[in-house]
Amino acid sequence: MGFIVEGDESGDVVLEPPPNFSMVEEGIFRSSFPRPCNFAFLQTLNLRSIIYLCPEPYPEENLEFLRSQNIRLFQFGIEGKTEPSLASLKDAIRGALKILIDVRNHPVLIHCKRGKHRTGCLVGCLRKLQNWCLSSVFEEYQHFAGMKSRSADLRFIETFDIVCLRQCLQSIIYQYQGYGSKKRRLLYGEECTETPNNFDMNEESAHNINGRNSHFSLMV
């Protein structure tokens, strides 16, 4: 179902979000694969980045939209039809998390094909980093996965070691930033210089990721 807003003289504009669209946190969204009919809606989010979790090349019409809106694409190819190796899945999720918690990439949209399994794994691991209890993490995953919930995904989320990510981030500072109500954030002063594999990024993106004195923010 789309949202209808008042348009100009040519008539109203229908804004249709992608299926499984939802806000994860302020500046972080999730959905299934956006189609051209969703582009007008995505424009309202003022996205800076998209995290794409499929191995297939991004469609040219979607790339054209990203270029027109100056949106950066970060691709982490996680297999969906066959179960990926545990090592490759860990590497992809760890790399995607590093992009996700960097506020310079916000607002950011996470998506795979259906917005269920691969997206659910990434969001689930983010929730662990935010110290959510495991039952709440699983409940959120199952809400979006529905009847197609995968036990392998839940096991991966449960066993994902967030310490390995935290060890790569230094100078952790707790700071309050107010947006109406105060929200505590984790600010990371510096990131390790390791560049995640399987990226599709431009020169500016690479500089942002590998530059020293980077700042990261994570809602807790």
Count CB atoms within 10 A of the CB of residue 39.
Answer: 19
Phi-psi domain of 20 (left: phi exceeds 0; alpha: psi -120 through 50; beta: other) = left
Long-range contacts of 160-166 (CB under 8 A, 24+ apart): 160/90, 160/93, 160/124, 160/125, 160/128, 162/125, 162/128, 162/129, 164/94, 165/94, 165/97, 165/98, 165/129, 166/129
Helix (H, G, I), strand (E, B) or coil at 198: coil
Alpha-carbon distance 156 to 154, whole Å? 5
Query: Is 112 an annotated catalytic residue?
Result: yes
Question: Angle CA(67)–CA(103)–CA(99) in degrees, nearest 5?
Answer: 70
**With contact defined as beta carbons under 8 Å apart, do 130 and 159 qualify?**
no
Torsion over CA: 199, 185, 110, 139 (sign): positive
Catalytic residue among 37, 112, 133, 164: 112
- The residue with tokens 């299934």 is 32
Tell me how far the alpha carbon of residue 32 is from its chain's centroid.
12
Residues taking part in catalysis: 112
